């Protein structure tokens, strides 16, 4: 998740990438996305993989996939993820993501593990987090 200023708000790697390479990679990826107009498709061929991206206000969510994935399914998975965030944070904003990095990580881990979809059902995705919140309250 990167905003329009190119600041990464969340990154998750399912293959090991050196830290210094991550910053460069992220910068290049967002540059690719920002340079596109609304007339262009949401899929960008980038190096050996494809970027699928979706923009929500000033925030881009970009997923790098290889040829084993279905572009449209990933494109819609992004939306499902955003809807889950929206449900949990009730009207999610970039600030929610920044201030609750751990929460966002938990949500993502419930949906995608090791690069594969685990769960798409919203209430089941949020269940562990709600338990956690309840415990934190007590």
Whose Cβ is closer to another protein: residue 90's or residue 119's?
A: 119
Distance CA 134, CA 128 (A): 10
Judge whether 26 and 122 are in contact, CB under 8 Å: no
Indicate which single residue of 75, 81, 84, 107 sits in contact with another protein (rule: CB under 8 A).
75
Distance CA 130, CA 23 (A): 33
CA 36 vs CA 49, 55, 105: distances in Å: 18, 11, 28
CB of residue 8 to another protein, shortest distance in Å: 6
Residues that bind another protein (CB under 8 A): 8-12, 14, 16, 19-24, 37, 39-45, 47-48, 67-68, 70-73, 75-77, 79-80, 98-99, 101-102, 105-106, 109, 113-114, 116-124, 127-128, 131-132, 135-136
């Amino acid at each position: 998740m990167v905003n329009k200023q190119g600041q990464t708000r969340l990154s998750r790697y399912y293959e090991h990438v050196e830290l210094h390479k991550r910053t460069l990679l992220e910068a290049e990826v967002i540059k690719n996305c920002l340079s596109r107009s609304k007339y262009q498709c949401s899929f960008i061929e980038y190096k050996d993989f494809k970027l699928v991206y979706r923009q929500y206000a000033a925030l881009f969510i970009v997923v790098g996939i290889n040829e084993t994935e279905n572009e449209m399914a990933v494109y819609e998975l992004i939306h499902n993820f955003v809807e889950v965030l929206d449900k949990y944070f009730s009207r999610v904003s970039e600030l929610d993501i920044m201030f609750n990095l751990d929460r966002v990580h938990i949500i993502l881990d419930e949906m995608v593990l090791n690069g594969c979809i685990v769960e798409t059902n919203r209430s089941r995705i949020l269940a562990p987090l709600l338990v956690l919140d309840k415990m934190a309250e007590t």
